[in-house]
Structure 1
Amino acid sequence: MINTATPPVKPRGHARTLVVAMCFAAIIFDGYDLIVYGTVVPTLLGRDEWALTPPEAGRIGSYALMGMLVGAAVVGTVTDLVGRRRIMLGCVTWFSLAMGLCALAPTPELFGLARFVAGIGLGGVVPTAIALTIEYAHPRHRSLTNALMFCGYSVGGILAALIAIPTIPALGWRTMFWIGMAPLVLFVPLAFALLPESPSFLLAKGRRQEAERLAARFGLVLDERDIVAESAPDRQETKRSAVASLFSRSYLVATLLFWLGTAVGLLLVYGLNTWLAQIMRQAGYPLGSALAFLLVLNLGAIIGTPLAGIAADRLGSKRVITAMLLTAAACIFLLSLRLPTLALYALVAVAGACTIGTTILVNAYTANHYPARARATGLGWALAVGRLGAIVGPVYGGLVLASDLGLAANFYAFAIPALVGAVAVALIPRSPVDRREGACEGSAETELASAH
C-alpha cells in the first residue's frame, strides 16, 4: 500500500489551540442561545404578559430544535461542499440576528417562529465546530479535545443562568435575548480574521497547495488514505455521495444506532435544560434557587466531560458512554427521593456530566466512526435525526409536568430514556476503518515474522 500522507511536521500546539478556542467560543454562544429559553420559562408561565401553559411552553421550546434539525441536515451536508469556515461564520451571524427577532416578538406565535429561525443557524454550528476540532486535534486526544471544546455548551448554559438571576427580575426576560446578539460583535470579526479552513476539505477539492500550507502552519499530517489507498470495494463506495455511504452495508447498523443514541442524549439535554428550573420551583424552591439547579447541571458537565473524554481516549468511547448513560439514569431516578439539598445538587451535577457530557462524547464517537470524506455529513445527519429527540424533550417534559402524576414522575420520565440510550450505544459495531487498520497491522506483523 502506497503511503500518500505528508511527512510529519513539527507540532504547533498554540496554533491548533487557536482553532479549538474559536470553536469553543462558537459553542458557548450556541449553548447560551439554546439554554436561555429554560431560564425564561418560569416567567413565561407566570401571570405576566403571555401566561403560557406548560404544554404551550414545551411546544415553543421545541421550535428552535426543529430549526436545528433543518440546520444540522442541510448545513452538515453543505459544509462538505463549501467548507467549514464559511458555514461557521454564516451560521453564527444568522442565529445572532434571529435572537434580536426573539427579543422583539410581540406574540408567542412570532416568538416561536423566531426561535425556529434561530435554530437553523444553531444547528449548523455544532457539526461544523466538531468537524474542525476533530481535524485540528492531536490524533491521540481527539475525544478529550472535542470534550473540552464542547464544554462551551455548558459554559453558555452557566452564563445564561448567572445572567438570568439578576437580569430577569430587573430588566425583564426580553433582555436575555438581546444579550444573545453579542456574537455579532464578540465572535464574527475575530473568526473572520483568525479561523482557518479545513485542510481535508481543501484536499478533497483539489486545492493541495492550500491544504499543505495549512498543514505546515498548524503541524498537521494530511492523510489521503480515505481517497487513494482504500480497498476495491471502498473505492467503489467513494464514488457515491457522502450521504449514500451512511446507508452502505458497512455503516448502516452503526448509522441507525448513532441516530438513536444521539436522539436519546438530546432528549435528556434539552428536556432537562428546559424544565429543570420549573420542576424545582414546583418542588418549593424560589426562582433564584431553581435557576441554581440549572447552573449546577451545566457546571457538572464542564467538570465531568473532560474526565470522561480522557477515559474515552483510554478505554474506548463505547464503554465509557454506556457507563455514563447508566449513571445518568440512576442519578435522575434518585432525584425523585426526598434528599437534602446538597445531595440533590450533587446528583444534578453528576446527571449533567452524564447527559450533556455523554452527548458530547457520542458526537466525537460518531465523527471518528466515519471516514474523513463523510465525517461532517455523518455527524450532521446524526445530529439532524437526533434533533427529533431534542424536539420531543421540551414537549415531553411539558406534558409530564401538566399530567399531575406527581413530582417523582418528572424524574422517572427522564431516567427511562437514559437506559434506552445505554443499550443503543452498547450495540454499535466496530468501525470498518478500525477493522481495516487492524487487518493491515496484522498483515504487517505477519510479513515481519516471515522475514525473520
Structure 2
Amino acid sequence: MTPASATHDHGAKASWVVTLCWIAVILDGFDLVVLGALIPTMTGSAAPFMTGGEATFISTIGLVGMTLGALSIGVATDRFGRRHSLIWAVAAFSLLTALCGLAQTPNQLALFRFLAGVGLGGCLPTAIAMVTEFSRGKAGRASTTVMTGYHVGAVATALLALVLLPITGWRGMFIAGAIPGFVLVPLMLRHLAESPAYLLAQGRRSEAEGVARAHGIVLAEPVVGAPKASIRTLFAPDMLRTTVAIWITSFMGLLLVYALNSWLPALMVAADYGLERGLWLLLLLNLGAVCGLLVAGQVGDRIGLKRAAVIWFAAGAVLLAFLSWKMPVSLLYPAVFLTGCLVFSAQVLVYAYTAAHYPAGVRATAIGMSAGVGRLGAIAGPLIGGTLVSMGIGHPWGFYVFALVGLIGTLAMSMTAGRAR
C-alpha cells in the first residue's frame, strides 16, 4: 500500500467514527424539539392525550433522565469502553422512543421519555470523547462538526412534523424518530472502532496499536500514575478550579440553548413581531447554530479553545442584550442568525475544551459531568423564560437576563486553567 493510499484508508476509517457519532447526535437534536412540536396536538381540544400540566411534567422528566444519563454514562464509557456504551445508548433510546409512540397513558409516556432521556444523556459525552480521540489533532473542529448534528436534528424534526403530523399524528412522529437508531446500531457494530486509549488502559496493547494504526492516529502512552475514571479525580488540586469553572459555564451555556429554543417565539410575540415571524426566527436561530459550529471549531483550533469560548460567550451576551431593542426586521433577522452562531456554538467549544484539557483516562467522565450539570441549566432555562413571559416582562427583560447569563459564562470560562487546543 502506497503512502497516499494508506492515508486515504486511514481517513476513511476515521470518517466512519465521526459520521456515526454525528448521526447519533442528530437523534439527540430530534429529542430537543420533538415533544415541543407535538404538545399542541397532544393537548388539543379535538382528542387530547394529556393536559398542559402533564405535558410540562413529561418535558421536565425527560430532561431529568438526560441529566442522569450524562452524569452516569460518562463514567461508564471510561470504565467499560466508548464503543459499547455508545451502541447500547443508541439502541436503548431508539427502542424507548418507539415505545413513546405506543404509550397508552401520560404516565407511560413519562416513563418512556425518562428512560429514553437516560440513553440520550449518555450519547453526547461519549460521541465527543470518541471524535476527539480520532480527530488527529483537530479536536475543536471535530467536536463542533459533530455537534452540528444536534441542530440539524432540531431543524429536520420541525420540518418533518409539518409533513408527517397531518398524516400519522403524534404517534407516527415518535416511530419515525426511532427508525434511524435501528439502522444506526448495525452500522456501529460493523464500523465503530473502540477507543485506543481505553484499550491501552485495559492492558490490551496489541488491539490498541491495531486500531491506532488502522485509523492513522498516534497512540498516546498512558502516564504512570495517571488517574482512573472517577468523579473524585476531577476534584484533584490541579483540576478543581477548571472543573468548577467548566460546570458553571456549561450550566449557563445550556440554560441559554434551551431557553432560547423554548421561548424565542414567545419573546418575539411579546415584542410585537408576531407568532409566524417568531417561528421563522427560531428556525433561523438553529440554522445560525449550524454555521457557527463550523466556524467555531476552526477558530478554536487556531487560537485555542479556551480563548475562542470566552470570545463566543462574550459576543453572544452582547447580541442577546442587543435583541432587547425593538428593531426593523431587516436588522432583526441577521441579529438572530448571529446570536445562533455564537450562543449555541459557545457551549460546544466548552465541550471541546473539556475533551482536550483532561487526560484520556477521565475524558468521558469529565465531559459527562459537564453535560450533566449543563442539563440542570437546560431545565432551569425554560423555567426562567416561562416565568418572565408569564409575568409579562419577557421582552425586554428576558434578553437582559439571558445576556447576564452569557456574561457569567464568559467570566467562568476565563477562570479555567491553561489554553487547551
Relative to the length of structure 1, the TM-score reads 0.85
Q: CA deviation at 1:300?
A: 0.6
Name the structure 1 match of 2:162: 165
Given that 1:63 and 1:112 are in contact with CA atoms closer than 8 Å, whether structure 2 keeps it comes out as: yes
Q: CA deviation at 1:305?
A: 1.2
Q: CA deviation at 1:379?
A: 1.1
Measured on the aligned residues, the alpha-carbon RMSD in Å equals 2.5
Name the structure 2 match of 1:215: 212
Distance in 2 of aligned mates of 1:303 and 1:196: 29
Distance in 1 of aligned mates of 2:330 and 2:42: 28
Q: CA deviation at 1:10?
A: 5.3
Distance in 2 of aligned mates of 1:75 and 1:168: 33
Which of these residues, 188, 198, 220, is aligned with residue 201 of structure 1?
A: 198
Deviates more, 1:29-38 or 1:286-295: 286-295
Name the structure 1 match of 2:329: 341
Q: 1:173–1:332: structure 2 CA closer, same or farther, 3 Å change rule? A: farther
Name the structure 1 match of 2:409: 421
Q: 1:148–1:406: structure 2 CA closer, same or farther, 3 Å change rule? A: closer
Name the structure 1 match of 2:177: 180
Q: CA deviation at 1:400?
A: 2.1
Distance in 1 of aligned mates of 2:206 and 2:29: 36
Deviates more, 1:89-98 or 1:29-38: 29-38
Structure 1 letter corresponding to 2:223: I
Name the structure 1 match of 2:369: 381
Distance in 2 of aligned mates of 1:407 and 1:52: 27
Q: 1:26–1:371: structure 2 CA closer, same or farther, 3 Å change rule? A: same
Structure 2 letter corresponding to 1:403: M
**Aligned residue runs from structure 1 range 67-216, under 5 A:** 67-139=65-137, 141-169=138-166, 171-216=168-213
Distance in 2 of aligned mates of 1:114 and 1:279: 31
Which of these residues, 382, 391, 396, is aligned with residue 403 of structure 1?
A: 391
Q: 1:338–1:43: structure 2 CA closer, same or farther, 3 Å change rule? A: farther
Of the two, which has the highest radius of gyration?
Answer: 1
Q: 1:283–1:109: structure 2 CA closer, same or farther, 3 Å change rule? A: farther
Q: CA deviation at 1:59?
A: 4.4
Q: 1:93–1:278: structure 2 CA closer, same or farther, 3 Å change rule? A: farther
Structure 2 letter corresponding to 1:267: L
Structure 2 letter corresponding to 1:422: T
Q: What SS does the aligned partner of 1:343 have? A: helix
Q: CA deviation at 1:270?
A: 1.5
| Structure 2: unaligned runs, 5 residues or longer | 1-5
Q: What number of residue pairs does the alignment pair up?
A: 414
Q: 1:396–1:106: structure 2 CA closer, same or farther, 3 Å change rule? A: farther
Given that 2:255 and 2:381 are in contact with CA atoms closer than 8 Å, whether structure 1 keeps it comes out as: yes
In the alignment, does 2:303 pair up with 1:315? yes
CA displacement 1:83-130 (0-9 Å, x = unmatched): 111111111111112222332334444433322211101011111100
In the alignment, does 2:317 pair up with 1:368? no
Q: CA deviation at 1:177?
A: 1.9
Distance in 1 of aligned mates of 2:216 and 2:123: 25
CA displacement 1:372-393 (0-9 Å, x = unmatched): 1111111111111222111212
Given that 1:39 and 1:291 are in contact with CA atoms closer than 8 Å, whether structure 2 keeps it comes out as: no
Q: 1:178–1:287: structure 2 CA closer, same or farther, 3 Å change rule? A: farther
Q: What SS does the aligned partner of 1:71 have? A: helix
Q: CA deviation at 1:333?
A: 2.5
Q: What SS does the aligned partner of 1:429 have? A: coil
Given that 2:97 and 2:113 are in contact with CA atoms closer than 8 Å, whether structure 1 keeps it comes out as: yes
Name the structure 2 match of 1:447: none
Distance in 2 of aligned mates of 1:293 and 1:42: 19
Given that 1:400 and 1:413 are in contact with CA atoms closer than 8 Å, whether structure 2 keeps it comes out as: no
Q: 1:239–1:346: structure 2 CA closer, same or farther, 3 Å change rule? A: closer
Which of these residues, 63, 71, 79, is aligned with residue 65 of structure 1?
A: 63
Deviates more, 1:297-306 or 1:168-177: 168-177
Distance in 2 of aligned mates of 1:190 and 1:161: 26
In the alignment, does 2:345 pair up with 1:353? no
Q: What SS does the aligned partner of 2:334 have? A: helix
Relative to the length of structure 2, the TM-score reads 0.90
Name the structure 2 match of 1:306: 294
Distance in 2 of aligned mates of 1:198 and 1:151: 22
Distance in 2 of aligned mates of 1:286 and 1:406: 14
